[in-house]
Amino acid sequence: MSKFWSPLTASLVPYVPGEQPKDKAYIKLNTNENPYPPSPRVIEAITAAANADLRLYPDPTCEGLVQAAAKYYGLSARQVFVGNGSDEILAFAFAAFFDPAKKILFPDITYSFYKVYAKLYGLQTELIPLDEQFNVQVDQFHSDNGGIIIPNPNAPTAQLISLEQIKMLLDNNPNQAVIIDEAYIDFGGQSAVQLIQQYPNLLVVQTLSKSRSLAGLRVGFAFGSEELIEGLNRIKNSFNSYTLDRLALAGAIASFEDEAYFKETTAKVIHTRERVADQLLALGFKVTESKANFVFISHPSIAAEGIFKQLREKGVLVRYFAQARIDEYLRVSIGTDDEMDAFVRAVQEIVGL
Amino acid sequence: MSKFWSPLTASLVPYVPGEQPKDKAYIKLNTNENPYPPSPRVIEAITAAANADLRLYPDPTCEGLVQAAAKYYGLSARQVFVGNGSDEILAFAFAAFFDPAKKILFPDITYSFYKVYAKLYGLQTELIPLDEQFNVQVDQFHSDNGGIIIPNPNAPTAQLISLEQIKMLLDNNPNQAVIIDEAYIDFGGQSAVQLIQQYPNLLVVQTLSKSRSLAGLRVGFAFGSEELIEGLNRIKNSFNSYTLDRLALAGAIASFEDEAYFKETTAKVIHTRERVADQLLALGFKVTESKANFVFISHPSIAAEGIFKQLREKGVLVRYFAQARIDEYLRVSIGTDDEMDAFVRAVQEIVGL
């Protein structure tokens, strides 16, 4: 505590990102990064943009990138917003759309940044429980709320809800913003972007961090009606006019120009995920049905925290959440086949098979 | 207006950055960019960082860059904060330190983003008038306030206040944060960084955009006591864990490794500024004493708006503010010698000399 802090600063409970230990080289399966490098075209575009023009401000409207993303999804530029990672966009969206006079709704087990944003903006929250199988119970999101946010697939549970369920949610909640956070959608899900023409209150948030192997570049997107996108721009332009640097803009544009590479690498991650899930089932683990680039697993007789610690000693980092309902689970990012073979071998030793 | 906007979104008056017209090639003296490219070392470092590691998140603590800046100023790492441009840091600082229960103080003529931030966070403001010669009247910043922010040199007036005056301000205001926004300090001013050991409430904000020719990279700094830096980190980590991408981090670290280039280019800008100021005086202009990379000028008989429009027709962009007290002034960024010769020739034609 400092006497120079505002009351807000003193009240916050900041987010804690996954650990990035520097003590030794780990097989890093703890922050849902893509094991494959970004497309060579991205590297070329960034290298070309590393020039004297860095002395100039970037385009504050990010027009080139907005148009590339709009074209990719068949939208107009006025239905697209870009930001410094999808976390920044989520922060803007909580401020832009959620009503402080009512409770905002999200699943009880979900991305842990949501409750941090709520605290930042003084928003009341109501957690809607997942069912026993960790499915999002769409019908439990009652309409007396100040806004809704759901990740699809959900994190860390990895499970998907269908577009039919999202439509039901939107039909039941026509008077407030509904945000679908699609950080992991490209690993087997169907994007709700196709619903935005029909639902002016739907905001779909995506990122280049996962499926396009660009966590290090910090680029995210929001897709929605013109009025929602204008709302995001009002917040952004009251906060920072130039949120994306020239290199991120160049690399992000190029990432949409290599569809073959994108399809190939996401297919590889999906293929590895399915193989590893089968191996874990054979080792006695419970494995939720994942449509993400990670699996969410639990062993019936060995404590998750113990497995987490033993894996760490063996040089494999996964994510453990000391949190009610999921403290017997581990979240394991999908690495390369070699990395996952090493992970499965380590797990075999731990479970004694 | 949209029914999906929060009351906040509807209330905002967003910032409008300087125009970036694309209709033809202009001599661009309107956004205070540096006319010289960044150091070749910066380009090399960015090119080297454009690699497969972009698939990985950047270091959320920005440790390497924090340490480079700390070393440069002889500070500890815990006295340094880095952000996605100094605008982002200012946005965090308004939230972190300014008290909504009291008025925050800044000059009546100053960086126009301050009033936008105040609106974003629901802060009350009191504008302290510059004197007739556009000097900041430090003694007018009375102590009954919720925080103070002053740019030094001030923008768009270009004038400097001394460290003695800043000390007086700090001595008079020991109970709230005082922010000195040093975006332009390297063009002839003396940084208040040296005062932070003495004043725990002093936050000094800087940027790589101006003196280090990196407006396109989006990197800013704050220097202050550990408690102030912790306050900024609490806000940042409630907003976005990863605000700087891997390329910006690499380029920014390299920018501190080429002191000779930094000194050479800032000296060139200063030299050109002094030469142009003399030429403008000879053409009958009033020119404030600038310690920034721009001059603030007024002609006794020709309206500033008219000069602005005629310069635009002649292919030279400068900045005109349709704002009380300064609507007879133009802000002109310092370009290369060739650019400024072209500017002076255009002005000569307009004033008929």
B33 interaction partners in chain A (CB closer than 8 Å): 55-57
| CA A160/CA A138 separation, integer angstroms | 12
Q: Is B315 on the interface with A (CB under 8 A)?
A: no
Selected for mutation to probe chain A from B55, B81, B219 (highest A CB count within 10 Å) is B55
Q: Are A202 and A175 in contact (CB under 8 A)?
A: no
Cα angle B160, B164, B167 (rounded to 5 degrees) comes to 110
CATH of A7-37+259-351, one of 3.90.1150.10, 3.40.50.300, 3.30.1330.10, 3.40.50.720: 3.90.1150.10
Residues A345-351, mean pLDDT to the nearest whole number:
96
Q: Tens digit of pLDDT for each residue in A172-210? A: 999 999 999 999 999 999 999 999 999 999 999 999 999
B95 interaction partners in chain A (CB closer than 8 Å): 6, 8-9
Residues B76-94, mean pLDDT to the nearest whole number:
98
The three-state DSSP-derived secondary structure of chain B is: CCCCCCHHHHHCCCCCCCCCCCCCCCEECCCCCCCCCCCHHHHHHHHHHCCHHHHCCCCCCCHHHHHHHHHHHCCCHHHEEEECCHHHHHHHHHHHHCCCCCEEEEECCCCCHHHHHHHHCCCEEEEECCCCCCCCCHHHCCCCCCCEEEECCCCCCCCCCCHHHHHHHHHHCCCCCEEEECCCHHHCCCCHHHHCCCCCCEEEEEECCCCCCCCCCCCEEEECCHHHHHHHHHHHCCCCCCCCCHHHHHHHHHHCCCHHHHHHHHHHHHHHHHHHHHHHHHCCCEECCCCCCEEEEECCCCCHHHHHHHHHHCCEECEECCCCCCCCCEEEECCCHHHHHHHHHHHHHHHCC
Of A51, A233, A235, the CB nearest to B43: A51
Element (H, E) at A220: strand A220-223
What values do phi and psi take at B273, rounded to 5?
Answer: -55, -45
| CA B93/CA B229 separation, integer angstroms | 9
Q: With a cut of 80, say whether residue B163 has pLDDT above it.
A: yes
Q: Does domain A40-255 have CATH number 3.40.640.10?
A: yes
| CA A349/CA A306 separation, integer angstroms | 13
Q: With a cut of 90, say whether residue A32 has pLDDT above it.
A: yes
Asked if B228 and A14 come within 8 Å (Cβ–Cβ), the reply is no
pLDDT at B143: 86
**A188 backbone φψ class: left, alpha, beta (φ>0; ψ -120 to 50):** left
Q: Write the CA distances from B340 to B28, B96, B157, B310, integer angstroms.
A: 10, 41, 19, 16
Mean pLDDT over the full length of chain B: 96
Q: With a cut of 80, say whether residue A49 has pLDDT above it.
A: yes
Q: Tens digit of pLDDT for each residue in B103-123? A: 999 999 999 999 999 999 999
B120 interaction partners in chain A (CB closer than 8 Å): 235, 238-239
| CA B82/CA B232 separation, integer angstroms | 10
**B275 backbone φψ class: left, alpha, beta (φ>0; ψ -120 to 50):** alpha
Q: Quick one: B90 exposed, middle or buried, by C-beta within 10 A (0-12, 13-18, 19+)?
A: buried
DSSP characters over A257-296: T-HHHHHHHHHHHHHHHHHHHHHHHHTT-EE----SSEEE
Across the strands, what pairs with A22? none
| CA B154/CA B164 separation, integer angstroms | 16
Q: With a cut of 80, say whether residue B336 has pLDDT above it.
A: yes
Residues A113-122, mean pLDDT to the nearest whole number:
96
Instruction: State the CB neighbour count (10 A cutoff) for residue B31.
Output: 18
Domain boundaries, chain B: 7-37+259-351, 40-255
CA B281 to chain centroid, in Å, comes to 26
- Sorting pLDDT into bands at 50, 70 and 90, what band is A23? confident
CA B196 to chain centroid, in Å, comes to 19
A:139-178 residues touching chain B, CB 8 A cutoff: 175-177
What values do phi and psi take at B105, rounded to 5?
Answer: -115, 135
Q: Is A92 helix (H, G, I), strand (E, B) or coil?
A: helix
Q: Which of A76, A72, A341 lies closest to A211, judged by CA?
A: A72
The tokens for B307 are 């000069």
Report the half-sphere exposure of B208 (CA within 13 A, side-chain side): 30
Of A55, A238, A247, the CB nearest to B33: A55
Q: Tens digit of pLDDT for each residue in A235-285? A: 999 999 999 999 999 999 999 999 999 999 999 999 999 999 999 999 999
Residues A117-133, mean pLDDT to the nearest whole number:
97
Q: Tens digit of pLDDT for each residue in A284-342? A: 999 999 999 999 999 999 999 999 999 999 999 999 999 999 999 999 999 999 999 99
Q: With a cut of 80, say whether residue B11 has pLDDT above it.
A: yes
B213 interaction partners in chain A (CB closer than 8 Å): 54-55
Asked if B97 and A4 come within 8 Å (Cβ–Cβ), the reply is yes
pLDDT at B18: 75
List the strands of the sheet with B330-333, edge to edge: B286-287, B294-298, B330-333, B319-320
Report the half-sphere exposure of B73 (CA within 13 A, side-chain side): 27
Q: Which of A125, A265, A266 lies closest to A188, judged by CA?
A: A266
Q: Is A109 on the interface with B (CB under 8 A)?
A: no
DSSP 8-state secondary structure symbol assigned to residue A212: T
Q: Tens digit of pLDDT for each residue in B23-72? A: 788 999 999 999 999 999 999 999 999 999 999 999 999 999 999 999 99
Q: Are B116 and B14 in contact (CB under 8 A)?
A: yes
